[in-house]
Chains A and B, each alone.
Chain A
Amino acid sequence: MKNIEIEFPGVKALKGVDITVTTGSIHALIGANGAGKSTLMKILVGAYNHYQGTILIDGVPVDIRDPRSAKDHGIEIVYQEVDTALVPYLSVAENIMLDILVNKMGRSQFVNWDQIHKRAKEVLDRINIRLDTHKLAQDLTLAQKQMILIARALVEEQKFLVLDEPTAPLSQTETDELFRIVKDLAYNHNVGVIFISHRLPEIFELCQLVTILRDGKVVSGYQVSETNQTTVINDMLGHRFEDTFPKTITEIKDTIFEARNITTKDNEVLNASLYVRAGEIVGVAGLVGAGKTELSKALFGALALASGEVRLREKLVEIKDPGSAVRLGFALVPEERRKEGVLVEEPVYSNLSAAHLGSFSNFLGLLNWKKERDHAEQTIRSLSIKTPSVYQKVAFLSGGNQQKVAVGKWLSTNADIFIFDEPTKGVDVGAKHEIFELIGQLAKNGKAVIYASCELPEILGISDRTYVMYDHTIVKELVTSETNEAEILFYSAGGK
């Protein structure tokens, strides 16, 4: 791929990227969030058609503008979200042969089931997977679903296979199995594999070449055997434009909240321990998929715990649902703002009162509309939420103002533990600053704050202490003033 450029409204996502991948090898593509890895790969597989630059295969320029032409050139991708690519109520065989069933039926109107199952079986045999082809996709484990997608990509002879963070949901043994298949494909079937991952140890175990992207450009490329984790991390970070964050210095008091060895029932959080003190901002760093969101939800009672204990002011408490968390003084500003944080179809005033309507109603449950609106007006003023009126639907506010609403609804509850999950996602710089100031203010008022984010500069700027998450658990506790981005990234990528 030569001199690839692409622009989206407002951002130039790729600025002249050159990359060469050879068949029969495994090539890692790595970069921080937003570096342009996924965009580059989507261009290669024909998901975007408005890019500039040339794609050459065997030295011949090819025109790839849609998924069909990418497939015709033998390029396949296995996306990260396996469930979006599978049809749950169809069998393994049908899912593997889906492309054939859709595109290669020609004039035949009838499905030859024996043939379908036979060919699906052959593909599975080729990558050495034992799986009944009559089983339904919805009954498979996550790892098996991923295998199915790889198998689908292999039904026809491929030249290149892109794997987008394939190991994120997999356990160690499943990962080993995947690596075996990938190696087999590259070395015995002469496929060029492009492997996108955040996890450095995996890249060093599996790949021969690594290309590092940063801010839409290729910064470096190495033979994996000739480099090391520290070099790669430094290249990923580079010299980044550092935002300045208004860190409020506060007096840190006693521990308010402590979680010991908590594990969720769905195993999205494993054996994590942390504590927060009054007036303290604790960062939770980690890459996408490390389990930060799940940890936030688990602390808030929104994900059921399988084991572990939670202490509030040294007293053992049970948080069985978000309702009891709110009563105990927790507040959560979730990551999926529009889906979970605010009620987009409701006006500003009812969003701001949704978490504590009780204080606006009398013993009969009758609402005091005036009180509710006055409270909304007051919150709008104190957080400088930009809205024409309290009656405006939240859907029509900007991202930053929506986030302020999501925070604002907790301010007049008696919450003293605030959990923020990626609060600056999709928020402009100005609003970002205001949100940081607001969080600083909370700490100053003696609240305990947990701040989960994959934006390391934010964590470094705002927090007092930082926990680093990797692979669903907290792997490291760092004092923020004594650490730096490289160290946090080192632990987030599984370094030891």
Chain B
Amino acid sequence: MSINTKNKQTLNAIGSFLTKWGTVVTIFALIIFFTLMTYNKDFDMYPFIQPSNIVHVFRSISIVTVIAIAITISLTVDGLDLSVGSMATFADSIVISAFVWYEFGLWAAILITLFGAVLIGLANAFLIVKMRIPDLLATLSMLFIAEGIALTYTGGGSISEGMPRLDGTPTVGVRPPFFNEIGLVPMIIVIMIVVVFLTHIFLNYTKHGRYMYVVGGNREAARLSGIPVDKYRTLAYVLSALIAGIGGIMLASKVGSSQVNAGAGYLMPAVAAAYIGFSFGGNGKPNALGTLVGAILMGILDNGLVMMSVPYYSVNIFKGSVLAIALASNYLRKK
């Protein structure tokens, strides 16, 4: 074997390592970079890798990650659920109103909210599977509808404790103490990890998850293998809405009140995280762990850049560029 072919093999090995673990390598590179760049001479410390900052990063990405998991599930059946942001808003206003307006208990309020989420998921599935609207357009319609329902329901305003209802009736309901815990460390991070973990198990270790990948990979081949394609597509959109609803509840707890369009801002970062996650571990397809890694990458960028005093309004330039690079590596490989 000549040195040349040996070199080539080494290069190939490095190349395939990078396409598999590029996101993880980038994360470590960024950690080192930010750690060094934010070194504080006066106190001789590295604020970026302080445990409190790491916890902060995880806390800041938890809601995005959960919503990104919702998107990941819709992506497995070759769909893309754009309504997850509105879904979170919708869940946010229902759960808060259930406490404040109707004085529901903790579990009753959460169950009702998740029930509403399932309904919206079914509506998505109806539009996509039965009405045959392309997934992007159907969920775009649902984005507006869910947002509109949430706004109409709250009368176009916010809901918080002690605020009178739309018709002026005073409210006495309060958020249960445990509900407030949901939005705090450690609960919020635990919920995120549980959602990621369960989704990972579901997608990779159950036949249902496998069927969803098969349906997403080749719908016709799936149908001709006898897989009930419509059923699994429906299931994907329902699960997507349900998990986005969980994201909405986490949001409601974190903020403590229901705000106008609170969930809207989570859609795009979540889409980005899910797509960055494709290449994780050489999967080349939507996967739960990759999505978490994608969200961590975005979270670190956010956090590190702000610590480096990059103005918050410029951070998106970097986040967008990272997304573009991740997508390029994914699609170039597919050629």
Kindly list chain A residues whose C-beta atoms are within 8 Å of the C-beta of B207: 357-358, 360-361, 365, 367
Interface flags, A393-414, vs B, CB<8A=1, else 0: 0000000000000000100000
Kindly list chain B residues whose C-beta atoms are within 8 Å of the C-beta of A344: 218
> Which residues 335-384 of A have a CB within 8 angstroms of B?
339-346, 350, 354-355, 357-358, 360-361, 364-367, 369
Q: How many Å lie between the Cα of A485 and that of B228 in the bound state?
A: 41
> Which residues 203-232 of B have a CB within 8 angstroms of A?
205-208, 210-211, 213-214, 217-218, 220-228
Contact B225 A355 (CB under 8 A): yes
Kindly list chain A residues whose C-beta atoms are within 8 Å of the C-beta of B222: 343, 354
> Which residues 11-44 of A have a CB within 8 angstroms of B?
none
Interface flags, B3-31, vs A, CB<8A=1, else 0: 00000000000000000000000000000
Chain A: residues with Cβ within 8 Å of the partner, total of 31
Contact A340 B221 (CB under 8 A): yes
Contact A302 B224 (CB under 8 A): yes
Given contacts A361-B206, A364-B206, A365-B207, contact A343 B226 (CB under 8 A): no
Given contacts A360-B207, A366-B205, contact A343 B224 (CB under 8 A): no
Contact A325 B226 (CB under 8 A): yes
Q: Across the interface, name the chain B residue whose C-beta is closest to A357.
A: B207
Contact B223 A322 (CB under 8 A): yes
CB distance from B82 to the nearest CB of A (A): 24
Partner of B226, one of A322, A339, A350, A364: A322
CB distance from B287 to the nearest CB of A (A): 14
- Stretch in A148-156, A326-334, A428-436 touching the partner: A326-334
CB distance from B52 to the nearest CB of A (A): 39
CB distance from A200 to the nearest CB of B (A): 34
Q: Residue A491 at the B interface, CB < 8 A?
A: no
Q: How many Å lie between the Cα of A346 and that of B218 in the bound state?
A: 10
Given contacts A339-B218, A343-B218, A346-B217, contact A334 B208 (CB under 8 A): no
Given contacts A323-B226, A343-B214, A357-B211, contact A367 B221 (CB under 8 A): no
Contact A326 B206 (CB under 8 A): no
Given contacts A346-B214, A350-B214, A357-B211, contact A365 B206 (CB under 8 A): yes
Q: Residue A470 at the B interface, CB < 8 A?
A: no
Partner of A355, one of B206, B226, B228: B226
Given contacts A358-B207, A361-B206, A364-B206, contact A341 B217 (CB under 8 A): no
Q: How many Å lie between the Cα of A66 and that of B105 in the bound state?
A: 76
Kindly list chain A residues whose C-beta atoms are within 8 Å of the C-beta of B284: 345
CB distance from A268 to the nearest CB of B (A): 16
> Which residues 260-308 of A have a CB within 8 angstroms of B?
300, 302
CB distance from B128 to the nearest CB of A (A): 18
Contact A367 B226 (CB under 8 A): no
Kindly list chain B residues whose C-beta atoms are within 8 Å of the C-beta of A321: 223, 228
Kindly list chain A residues whose C-beta atoms are within 8 Å of the C-beta of B205: 366-367, 369
Contact A354 B227 (CB under 8 A): yes
Kindly list chain B residues whose C-beta atoms are within 8 Å of the C-beta of A327: 226
Contact A341 B224 (CB under 8 A): yes
Kindly list chain A residues whose C-beta atoms are within 8 Å of the C-beta of B227: 323, 354
CB distance from B221 to the nearest CB of A (A): 5
Partner of A340, one of B210, B224, B226: B224
Q: Across the interface, name the chain A residue whose C-beta is closest to B220.
A: A340
Contact A346 B226 (CB under 8 A): no
Main secondary structure of the interface of B (DSSP, over half): helix
CB distance from A325 to the nearest CB of B (A): 7
Q: Across the interface, name the chain B residue whose C-beta is closest to A360.
A: B207
Kindly list chain B residues whose C-beta atoms are within 8 Å of the C-beta of A345: 217-218, 284-285
Q: How many Å lie between the Cα of A321 and that of B81 in the bound state?
A: 27
CB distance from A421 to the nearest CB of B (A): 10
> Which residues 274-312 of B have a CB within 8 angstroms of A?
284-285
Kindly list chain A residues whose C-beta atoms are within 8 Å of the C-beta of B211: 357
CB distance from B331 to the nearest CB of A (A): 14
Contact A343 B223 (CB under 8 A): no
CB distance from A452 to the nearest CB of B (A): 15
CB distance from B245 to the nearest CB of A (A): 23
Q: How many Å lie between the Cα of A321 and that of B225 in the bound state?
A: 11
Partner of B225, one of A322, A361, A369: A322
Kindly list chain B residues whose C-beta atoms are within 8 Å of the C-beta of A322: 223-226
Kindly list chain B residues whose C-beta atoms are within 8 Å of the C-beta of A341: 221, 224
Q: How many Å lie between the Cα of A2 and that of B162 in the bound state?
A: 94
Q: How many Å lie between the Cα of A320 and that of B171 in the bound state?
A: 55
Q: How many Å lie between the Cα of A470 and that of B15 in the bound state?
A: 54
Q: How many Å lie between the Cα of A398 and that of B284 in the bound state?
A: 22
CB distance from B12 to the nearest CB of A (A): 16
Q: Across the interface, name the chain A residue whose C-beta is closest to B334.
A: A345
* Residue picked from B217, B218, B222, B227, most chain A C-beta under 10 Å: B218
Partner of A302, one of B210, B214, B217, B223: B223
Q: How many Å lie between the Cα of A350 and that of B285 in the bound state?
A: 15
Contact B210 A409 (CB under 8 A): no
Given contacts A357-B210, A367-B207, contact A343 B228 (CB under 8 A): no
Contact A354 B206 (CB under 8 A): no
Q: How many Å lie between the Cα of A369 and that of B218 in the bound state?
A: 22
Contact A354 B225 (CB under 8 A): yes
Contact B221 A339 (CB under 8 A): yes
Q: How many Å lie between the Cα of A361 and that of B228 in the bound state?
A: 17
CB distance from A472 to the nearest CB of B (A): 21
CB distance from A272 to the nearest CB of B (A): 20
Q: How many Å lie between the Cα of A364 and that of B228 in the bound state?
A: 18
Kindly list chain B residues whose C-beta atoms are within 8 Å of the C-beta of A369: 205
Kindly list chain A residues whose C-beta atoms are within 8 Å of the C-beta of B210: 350, 354, 357, 367
* Residue picked from B211, B226, B285, most chain A C-beta under 10 Å: B226
Q: How many Å lie between the Cα of A250 and that of B287 in the bound state?
A: 49
Contact A339 B228 (CB under 8 A): no
Q: How many Å lie between the Cα of A300 and that of B225 in the bound state?
A: 10
Q: How many Å lie between the Cα of A354 and that of B228 in the bound state?
A: 12
Given contacts A350-B214, A355-B226, contact A343 B221 (CB under 8 A): yes
Q: Across the interface, name the chain B residue whose C-beta is closest to A415.
A: B226
Q: Across the interface, name the chain A residue whose C-beta is closest to B216.
A: A345
CB distance from A411 to the nearest CB of B (A): 13
Kindly list chain A residues whose C-beta atoms are within 8 Å of the C-beta of B220: 339-340
Q: Across the interface, name the chain B residue whose C-beta is closest to A333.
A: B224
Q: How many Å lie between the Cα of A358 and that of B220 in the bound state?
A: 20
* Residue picked from A334, A339, A343, A369, most chain B C-beta under 10 Å: A343
Kindly list chain B residues whose C-beta atoms are within 8 Å of the C-beta of A325: 226
Partner of A323, one of B206, B218, B221, B228: B228
Q: How many Å lie between the Cα of A35 and that of B205 in the bound state?
A: 50
Given contacts A366-B206, A367-B207, A367-B210, contact A326 B226 (CB under 8 A): yes
Partner of B221, one of A326, A342, A361, A365: A342
Contact B224 A334 (CB under 8 A): yes
A-B contact pairs, 10 of them (CB 8 A): A323-B228, A332-B224, A334-B224, A340-B221, A343-B217, A343-B222, A366-B205, A366-B206, A367-B206, A367-B207
Q: A326-B226, A367-B210 are in contact. List 20 more A-B contacts (CB 8 A).
A: A302-B223, A323-B226, A327-B226, A332-B224, A340-B221, A343-B217, A343-B218, A345-B217, A345-B284, A345-B285, A354-B210, A354-B227, A357-B207, A358-B207, A361-B206, A361-B207, A364-B206, A366-B206, A367-B205, A367-B207
Closest 3 CB pairs of A and B: A326-B226, A357-B207, A365-B206
